[in-house]
């Protein structure tokens, strides 16, 4: 509970702090005059496969080229390739 004067001074901050289901009672001369209640957060609709059709375009060749360029750059910098390392380990075990 809070007074009307306090509510006028701090209302924006209190609204920001209210959680769904919580409420703030505003009183004047020890008598409740208003209730401020936080609205529950609306459930988001589940994502639907294909909903980005016409909005998002992925060109498979671009992804392959980008990956190959990044991999080559990492190898030149001295990084190992964990996928190739695992593949080489399996190859050695099978021999």
82 pLDDT band (50/70/90 cuts)?
low
Domain-wise residue ranges, the chain = 2-37, 60-94
pTM of the model: 0.38
Residue 13 tokens, joined: 């901050």
Q: Tokens 């671009």 sit at which residue?
A: 62
Residue range 40-66, pLDDT digits in tens: 877 888 888 888 778 877 666 666 667
Give the model's pLDDT for residue 64.
64
As a whole number of angstroms, the distance between CA 53 and CA 55 comes to 5
Cβ pair 20, 38 in contact under 8 A: yes
């Amino acid at each position: 509970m809070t007074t009307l004067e306090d509510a006028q001074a701090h209302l924006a901050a209190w609204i920001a702090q209210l959680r769904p289901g919580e409420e703030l009672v505003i009183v004047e001369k020890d008598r409740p005059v208003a209730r401020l209640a936080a609205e529950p957060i609306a459930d988001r609709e589940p994502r639907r496969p294909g909903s980005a059709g016409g909005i998002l375009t992925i060109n498979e060749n671009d992804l392959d080229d980008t990956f190959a360029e990044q991999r080559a750059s990492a190898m030149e910098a001295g990084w190992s390739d964990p996928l190739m390392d695992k593949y080489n380990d399996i190859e050695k075990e099978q021999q």
